[in-house]
Chain A
Amino acid sequence: MSEGSLIHKNDPPLVRAGKALLIYVVLGLGAFVVLGPFLWMLISSFTPDVELMRSPPQLPSNPTLEQYEKALTQIPYLTYLCNSVIVAVLVTVGTVLSSSLGAYAFGILRWPDRDWLFIAILGTMMLPFQVTMTPLFLMFRWLGWIDTLLPLIVPAYFGSAFNIFLLRQFFKGLPRDLLDAARVDGCSEWRIYWRIVMPLSGAAVATVSLLSFLGAWNDFQGPLIYIVSESKKTLALGLYSFVAVKATEWGALMAAAVMMMIPAIVLFVLAEKYFVAGIQLEGLKE
């Protein structure tokens, strides 16, 4: 048991139990507030239209799959799913590689243009999206990439400010002596990056992977800008079209939202093990 925790090992057993109970109550309330909306969404997606429109709302007496049927008959779900997977996986690989390399250079190495470049790159994080979008679209058009998945994927291979910042913060926290020792032993910077820094930064890398995967999965302005054809749409854009035309069919909308969330949640649960393990590993190190 950590010395830093709210429950102290020197506390009398009753106090410890009381504290634990209090924490559980607060955590439970939080979980209710966070999960409640999902639960209601799930319930609504199984409620027939007529029962949905009751005031005050009640549980459905005749659960039905009709809302899912309605949503599915109007969305080429598998096509969207496939596109979303391609984009999200490739974006994640690209972001982790390019951002960690960049973060290493900015966080660990010393070089002439480092500081102003870092500040400039950090600045782009504050840059509202719309400032650069016009010229970017122009460029992708010039390359003939409109209505392809490339504009959604390629930029990830050139780093992203947020992830560089995040990784750099982590890298800077690594013991400097360790890296210097490796350098004295004749390790190349690449080896230090690949063999020492990256393995020690499991948690940070996992965080970045998860965030960039989710970012790509949930992104919808990107697809909206660059994608026109049905066959290239991602899930987010697909659902948006659905919202635009079905603005008040709540049951079908909830069903569509549930279906869009399922892959994200499944992936999250799978990645979460690694994610949590990564954080714990880091905790052990210190």
Chain B
Amino acid sequence: MIGRGDAPIVWRDAAIAGIAAFRRDKRPASLMTGGSLGRSLFAVFLAVLMLVPAGAFSAEPVRLTYWNLFTTGDLRVGMMEAVEAFNASRDDIQVEVLDVPIIEDKLPMTVAGGAPPDVVLFDRFRVAQFAALGTFMPLDDRIQRDGVRRDDYFHAAWDECVFQGKTWGLPYNTDVRVLFWNKRLFREAGLDRPPRDWDELVEFSKRLTVPADPKAPLKQVGFVPLFGNTWLYLYGWQKGATFLDAQGNIIINEPQTVAALEWMQKFVEWYGADRIRRFEGGFGANALNPFIIEKIAMVGDEVSLLSAISRYRPDLEYDVAPLPWPKDGVHATWSGGMALVIPRGARHPEQSWEVIKFMCGRDAQTTFGIRAVGLPANRLATEHPFYQNDPKWRVMISEMEYSKFRPLSVVGGTVWEAMVRARDYVSFGLKTPKQALDEGQAQIDAALREATASERLPLVDWSRTLGWLLPLLGAAAAARIVASVRRYRRDNYYRREARWAYLMAAPVILGFFIFSAGPIIASALLCFTSYDVLNPARVAGFGNFGRMFAEDELLPRVIWNTFVYVILAVPIGLVVALGAAILVNQPLRGRAFFRSVYFLPVVTPVIAGSLLWMWLFNSEYGMLNVVLAPIIESVPVRALAAGLTALVRLFAFVSPGLAEVTLVPRVPNWLVDPFWAKPAIVIMSVWGFGQAMVIFLAGLQRIPEQLYEAATIDGAGTWQKLRFVTLPLLSPTIFFNLVIALIGALQVFAQIFVVTYGGPADSTRFYVLHLYWQAFIHLRMGYASALAWVLFIVILLLTLAQFRIAKRWVHYE
């Protein structure tokens, strides 16, 4: 509902995108700037208009900034210690660390905006993609000049920073995957060593799973390839997949990868997908990591689990071993980690390089590694006794020799997304491994085609575009003014009223042009461009609109999701709100209390509310299912299910499969089940019915008492009064709420962004989230603008249609 910040979120980045368009092509910028005087005048103008002293909120001076992705825990502590050591050692450079938990979507925007940070700790697997866009400065000259050697680093870590023949960063840390196994649980199951190959892994896993009954809820599992931090890449490599074809293009549907996914699928089927997801819902982080609380006997995970154990459960009886690989496969593991990079356009590259060199040097890396209980990327730092005297660390370090990293690609983000999607679709039983991977490959190929095709498009000539646009707008405005003045002359009384009206509406009218109309025109232009923020916009014509029908394979699903959500959330929300409004409007003691209570969710910040519901929906520890279980497992519901089962089986002649159907009432596995995730979001939204209720209430209280009295005299009963007096007189309010609710529902974003981020298996990927994704994950600003405009037009048409229909049923006094 409105007012809860439903409007789409992180558009800051889209914003910055715009700057870049104007910055890059100086012409339009100069049209607007006209020197700092014009700007100050405009600022003063706005400030005076709003009667707030602008000086009270002025910006701070800029310093040498270091964007840090490690916002919590030991990694941060270790890194901060290294930064402090650097600051202490230098008088000329001082580093100021800024925690930026999600860097990928912010960095290109600041680079494009011309004010990037000086050093950034960036996820290595995205370095290639962002380097290809021109986000970073190449470091090769400085590396050579200062004699920084690749051999001093783990090669897998170093090579992940090299793309298209250039080195874009120095690796900072790494996180190789190994098998963690719980010695105590193994002993209890009569096992004394970790498995060596996949067959043993499966066998051990079954022996370590409690309870043995495949119907009972899981208490402990042996191994599930969905858990930990292994994903499909790892198993693919172990099966011998390379993820590259002969031309060096990314390929995710090799037979080996399909086989690996089939193997993962078998695991899921053996445990039961629903059972596994329910079990997974109870997982926590850090002290509550499932391996640490001994719910999982074996897990493929990386260095951070080791540091978590040493911090939260040092007495845990466990060991690490190389991850088992198939008998017909290869010894392979996977590492990733961070790199330090310098964004293009950073103002002090030489000093930034000094910082990076220090941070990735042997001493700082040793400090960091030991303090953070992490694995530094600098191999020399791991010669320290801290690592060499610990057999677990020695396993990790030796595994780095077998380590691979995600293949580098200009569409790396799409590749990763396709891999994750394939895994999810398969694990929910929505697609076969082959289908899922083939579809993923098609998405990757389409993204690659698009990337190369857009390079051939002509650049946008802004001066020409604005050259016809501005006169056109000027002419329209002039025509309108002439028409107004002509009408205005006619009537003296009217003139007085109109003069007041323009005066009183002036802020609103100005605001409309400054904050809406102008920006709308600018964004309309963006629709017809191909624009990735970092490079000049190119003319795409109607390509972005064509893309919606042809290349964007997810869009139909996204539209369906949004449709289902709107159809459920809007009517339910309105009916509940109206019912509540009528009830709290009764002359009863304590109605003010109920009114306040019902309004409470509206007051709740979206973030707080989202968190709250995530916790309630939790399939393992969530309170909601505890409350629902007695209802769902009650006799009437069971009888209903049995009746429905019988009914469905009657239709066995349509499809023989129906004879097997048994409907069992069970508590939903809310946020982790693709079927239940949408209803969960609907419940969250209906919970905010107080907003609409208050508006209904205001409407109810405006209904004149005489009408009810007249109705009473005419002999109308309670129900008739509701039907023939209340509802018709409330119709303008109902209409108002309907319009608002529909608009809000179509634009729902914040909750999904926080709660599900579109998952599971894309089931809550709603329109605006998809749009966000296109804009900030795939940097398709033009396409995202086109999507935004389509949404706008749909909303506009729906609203106009409602206004039209409303004429028939809305009763204005």
Using a CB–CB cutoff of 8 Å, the interface residues on chain A facing chain B are 1-8, 20, 23-24, 26-27, 30-31, 33-38, 40-41, 44, 49-50, 52-57, 74, 90, 94, 97-99, 101-102, 104-106, 109-114, 117, 120-121, 123-139, 141-150, 153-155, 157-159, 162, 164-166, 169-170, 173, 188-190, 193, 203-204, 207, 211, 214-215, 217-221, 224-226, 228-229, 231, 235-236, 239-241, 243-250, 253-254, 257-258, 260-261, 264-265, 268-269, 272, 276, 279-280, 282-283, 286
Question: Could you tell me the distance between the alpha carbons of A35 and B585 in the complex, rounded to whole angstroms?
Answer: 20
Question: Could you tell me the distance between the alpha carbons of A127 and B621 in the complex, rounded to whole angstroms?
Answer: 40
Given known contacts A53-B288, A144-B59, A173-B813, is B501 in contact with A3 (CB within 8 Å)?
A: no
Q: Which B residues are in CB contact (< 8 Å) with A272?
A: 596, 599
Min CB gap A286→B, angstroms: 5
Partner of B508, one of A110, A164, A193: A164
Q: Are A1 and B694 in contact (CB under 8 A)?
A: no
Q: Mark B15-59, 1 if CB is under 8 A from A, else 0.
A: 111110010000000001100000100110011011110100111
Q: Mark B735-751, 1 if CB is under 8 A from A, else 0.
A: 01000100100010010
Interface flag for B612 (CB, 8 Å): yes
Q: Which B residues are in CB contact (< 8 Å) with A162?
A: 2, 740
Partner of B594, one of A30, A40, A214: A30
Q: Which B residues are in CB contact (< 8 Å) with A249?
A: 284-286, 288
Q: Are B15 and A26 in contact (CB under 8 A)?
A: no
Q: Are A220 and B725 in contact (CB under 8 A)?
A: no
Stretch among B84-92, B137-145, B434-442, B698-706 lining the A interface: B698-706
Given known contacts A5-B587, A37-B612, is B12 in contact with A143 (CB within 8 Å)?
A: no
Interface flag for B771 (CB, 8 Å): yes
Q: Are B15 and A158 in contact (CB under 8 A)?
A: no
Interface flag for B783 (CB, 8 Å): no
Question: Could you tell me the distance between the alpha carbons of A102 and B519 in the complex, rounded to whole angstroms?
Answer: 21
Question: Could you tell me the distance between the alpha carbons of A240 and B611 in the complex, rounded to whole angstroms?
Answer: 10
For the complex with contacts A142-B39, A157-B50, A159-B511, 6 further pairs of A-B residues with Cβ separation under 8 Å are A111-B497, A128-B795, A129-B8, A135-B518, A261-B605, A264-B605
Q: Which residue of the partner chain B has the closest CB to A238?
A: B607
8 A-B pairs with CB atoms under 8 Å apart are A117-B509, A147-B59, A148-B58, A204-B698, A218-B606, A225-B15, A276-B595, A280-B701
Q: Which residue of the partner chain A has the closest CB to B518?
A: A135
Min CB gap A113→B, angstroms: 6
Interface flag for B470 (CB, 8 Å): no
Q: How many residues from B make CB contacts under 8 Å with A?
A: 158
Given known contacts A127-B792, A154-B50, is B598 in contact with A34 (CB within 8 Å)?
A: yes
Q: Are A41 and B612 in contact (CB under 8 A)?
A: yes
Interface flag for B457 (CB, 8 Å): no
Q: Are A102 and B607 in contact (CB under 8 A)?
A: no
Q: Which B residues are in CB contact (< 8 Å) with A35?
A: 597, 600
Q: Which of B293, B718, B772, B799 has the most CB of A within 10 A?
A: B718
Q: Are A214 and B3 in contact (CB under 8 A)?
A: yes
Q: Are B520 and A131 in contact (CB under 8 A)?
A: yes
Question: Could you tell me the distance between the alpha carbons of A221 and B4 in the complex, rounded to whole angstroms?
Answer: 11
Q: Which A residues are in CB contact (< 8 Å) with B283?
A: 248
Stretch among B94-102, B230-238, B396-404, B412-420 lining the A interface: B94-102
Interface flag for B386 (CB, 8 Å): no
Partner of B788, one of A130, A139, A149, A283: A130
Q: Which A residues are in CB contact (< 8 Å) with B620?
A: 55
Interface flag for B465 (CB, 8 Å): no
Min CB gap B545→A, angstroms: 15
Q: Are A158 and B514 in contact (CB under 8 A)?
A: yes
Q: Are A142 and B33 in contact (CB under 8 A)?
A: yes
Q: Which B residues are in CB contact (< 8 Å) with A111?
A: 494, 497-498, 501-502
Given known contacts A41-B615, A164-B508, is B627 in contact with A215 (CB within 8 Å)?
A: no
Stretch among B252-260, B344-352, B640-648, B708-716 lining the A interface: B708-716
Interface flag for B504 (CB, 8 Å): yes
Given known contacts A121-B512, A155-B511, A244-B101, is B519 in contact with A135 (CB within 8 Å)?
A: yes
Min CB gap A190→B, angstroms: 7
Question: Could you tell me the distance between the alpha carbons of A224 and B374 in the complex, rounded to whole angstroms?
Answer: 31
Q: Are B515 and A241 in contact (CB under 8 A)?
A: no
- The 4 A-B residue pairs whose C-beta atoms are closest, nearest first, are A137-B15, A158-B511, A225-B12, A134-B18
Q: Are A221 and B10 in contact (CB under 8 A)?
A: yes
Q: Which residue of the partner chain B has the closest CB to A104?
A: B504
Q: Are B101 and A241 in contact (CB under 8 A)?
A: yes
Question: Could you tell me the distance between the alpha carbons of A137 and B743 in the complex, rounded to whole angstroms?
Answer: 23
Interface flag for B329 (CB, 8 Å): no
Question: Could you tell me the distance between the alpha carbons of A214 and B601 in the complex, rounded to whole angstroms?
Answer: 11
Q: Are A101 and B52 in contact (CB under 8 A)?
A: no
Question: Could you tell me the distance between the alpha carbons of A106 and B497 in the complex, rounded to whole angstroms?
Answer: 12
Q: Are B7 and A221 in contact (CB under 8 A)?
A: yes
Min CB gap A127→B, angstroms: 6
Given known contacts A3-B711, A138-B19, is B4 in contact with A218 (CB within 8 Å)?
A: yes
Q: Are B615 and A44 in contact (CB under 8 A)?
A: yes
Question: Could you tell me the distance between the alpha carbons of A34 and B616 in the complex, rounded to whole angstroms?
Answer: 13
Q: Which of A20, A109, A147, A165 has the most CB of B within 10 A?
A: A109
Q: Which of B483, B504, B602, B781 has the most CB of A within 10 A?
A: B504
Question: Could you tell me the distance between the alpha carbons of A228 and B63 in the complex, rounded to whole angstroms?
Answer: 13
Min CB gap A148→B, angstroms: 4
Min CB gap A272→B, angstroms: 6
Q: Which B residues are in CB contact (< 8 Å) with A261?
A: 603-605, 608
Given known contacts A7-B587, A105-B501, is B709 in contact with A130 (CB within 8 Å)?
A: no
Interface flag for B11 (CB, 8 Å): yes
Min CB gap A220→B, angstroms: 6
Q: Are B11 and A4 in contact (CB under 8 A)?
A: no
Q: Which of B47, B52, B608, B725 has the most CB of A within 10 A?
A: B608
Q: Which residue of the partner chain A has the closest CB to B710?
A: A3
Question: Could you tell me the distance between the alpha carbons of A217 and B3 in the complex, rounded to whole angstroms?
Answer: 10
Q: Which B residues are in CB contact (< 8 Å) with A169?
A: 732, 736
Partner of A146, one of B18, B43, B59, B725: B59
Question: Could you tell me the distance between the alpha carbons of A110 and B493 in the complex, rounded to whole angstroms?
Answer: 10
Q: Which of A143, A218, A241, A264 has the most CB of B within 10 A?
A: A218
Partner of A99, one of B508, B591, B697, B771: B508
Min CB gap B364→A, angstroms: 23
Question: Could you tell me the distance between the alpha carbons of A247 and B13 in the complex, rounded to whole angstroms?
Answer: 23
Interface flag for B373 (CB, 8 Å): no
Q: Are A260 and B605 in contact (CB under 8 A)?
A: yes
Q: Are A253 and B611 in contact (CB under 8 A)?
A: yes
Question: Could you tell me the distance between the alpha carbons of A203 and B702 in the complex, rounded to whole angstroms?
Answer: 11
Partner of A34, one of B288, B601, B711: B601
Q: Are B507 and A128 in contact (CB under 8 A)?
A: no
Q: Which B residues are in CB contact (< 8 Å) with A41?
A: 612, 615
Question: Could you tell me the distance between the alpha carbons of A190 and B500 in the complex, rounded to whole angstroms?
Answer: 8
Q: Which B residues are in CB contact (< 8 Å) with A253?
A: 611, 615
Question: Could you tell me the distance between the alpha carbons of A53 and B620 in the complex, rounded to whole angstroms?
Answer: 8
Q: Which of A27, A36, A166 has the most CB of B within 10 A?
A: A27
Partner of B607, one of A228, A239, A247: A239
Question: Could you tell me the distance between the alpha carbons of A50 and B514 in the complex, rounded to whole angstroms?
Answer: 54
Given known contacts A127-B516, A130-B768, is B584 in contact with A173 (CB within 8 Å)?
A: no
Question: Could you tell me the distance between the alpha carbons of A53 and B622 in the complex, rounded to whole angstroms?
Answer: 10
Question: Could you tell me the distance between the alpha carbons of A129 and B743 in the complex, rounded to whole angstroms?
Answer: 12
Q: Which A residues are in CB contact (< 8 Å) with B33?
A: 142
Q: Are A2 and B705 in contact (CB under 8 A)?
A: yes
Q: Are A54 and B621 in contact (CB under 8 A)?
A: yes
Min CB gap A70→B, angstroms: 11
Question: Could you tell me the distance between the alpha carbons of A29 and B768 in the complex, rounded to whole angstroms?
Answer: 34
Q: Are B497 and A189 in contact (CB under 8 A)?
A: yes
Given known contacts A143-B39, A153-B52, is B698 in contact with A131 (CB within 8 Å)?
A: no
Min CB gap A266→B, angstroms: 10
Min CB gap B293→A, angstroms: 7
Q: Are A221 and B750 in contact (CB under 8 A)?
A: yes
Q: Are A134 and B795 in contact (CB under 8 A)?
A: no
Min CB gap B10→A, angstroms: 6
Given known contacts A56-B626, A132-B519, A260-B605, is B505 in contact with A3 (CB within 8 Å)?
A: no
